Amino acid sequence: MAQTDENPNKALAADAAAALRSATGVEQHDVALVLGSGWLPAVDALGEATAEIDTTDLPGFNAAAVAGHSGKIRSIRSGDRNLLVFLSRTHFYEGKGVAAVVHPVRTAAAAGCRAIVLTNGCGGLREGWRPGQPVLISDHINLTATSPIEGANFVDLTDLYSPRLRAACREIDPSLDEGVYVQFPGPHYETPAEITMVRAIGGDLVGMSTTLEAIAAREAGMEVLGISLVTNLAAGLSGQPLNHQEVLEAGRAAATRMGELLGRIVPRI
């Protein structure tokens, strides 16, 4: 194991970054992307893949456990940048602990990434939003009752979701809305009463990922861009039961738009 003065979780990330360099032949990656449920079809628009490996080939990573996540990590050359694309994530509800959830983020930082794009599929609360619509995350509310940060390390989360990158996205697509993302622990969907609560506390988007990763990225000094894909209306808004299949279908339907957005924003990061 790599010898560092950091805690064991960060030492494990350093080991994973070293294994990544060996497996991909890329000495340093510049920008990381985590693709959430429904986003997988958009990845081909990012550029030419120079390597693809299984997540389990790297220390500390788990196999994909959710439909719509491939269990792969892809290294992509995009212009003069090396992109590190995680085609799956570990969710908090899988019960592996918060350190496992943010391990890919810490590995990306150890691999040299100075910025990260976090995507997800989520429920939308705002009137007029429809499945297949991308929304920039302007802020978040973490309802998991935990944090990836340990000890007396007080990390400022003001402007956690980069105003610069959000502005760049709106220049590319002026129709993009922004919203506050609320993470519940999952894996059950929210009740209609919980959605009423989310509205009362200022939430616009609900899901089961992203906030813990964003906190870990800020701790590591990375610039963060968050983009949600509204894959369904939140509980109680449509009159229909929620299911994961509609999340994946909405992602497939929006793949072209998502790919174009990611392909155009990455060169500006």
Residues annotated as part of the active site: 190
Kindly provide the b/e burial profile for residues 88-110, where b requires at least 16 CB atoms within 10 angstroms of the residue's own CB: bbbbbbeeeebbbbbbbbbbbbb
- Distance in angstroms (rounded) separating the CA atoms of residues 133 and 187: 23
- Distance in angstroms (rounded) separating the CA atoms of residues 136 and 140: 11
Concatenate the DSSP letters of all residues of 118-140 into one string: EEEEEEE-STT--TTEEEEEEEE
Cβ 239 vs Cβ 192: under 8 Å = no
Question: In terms of Cα–Cα distance, which of 107, 58, 95 is closest to 213?
Answer: 107
Cβ 135 vs Cβ 227: under 8 Å = yes
The gap between the terminal CA atoms of the chain, to the nearest Å, is: 32
Instruction: Read off the tokens for 127.
Output: 């009137």
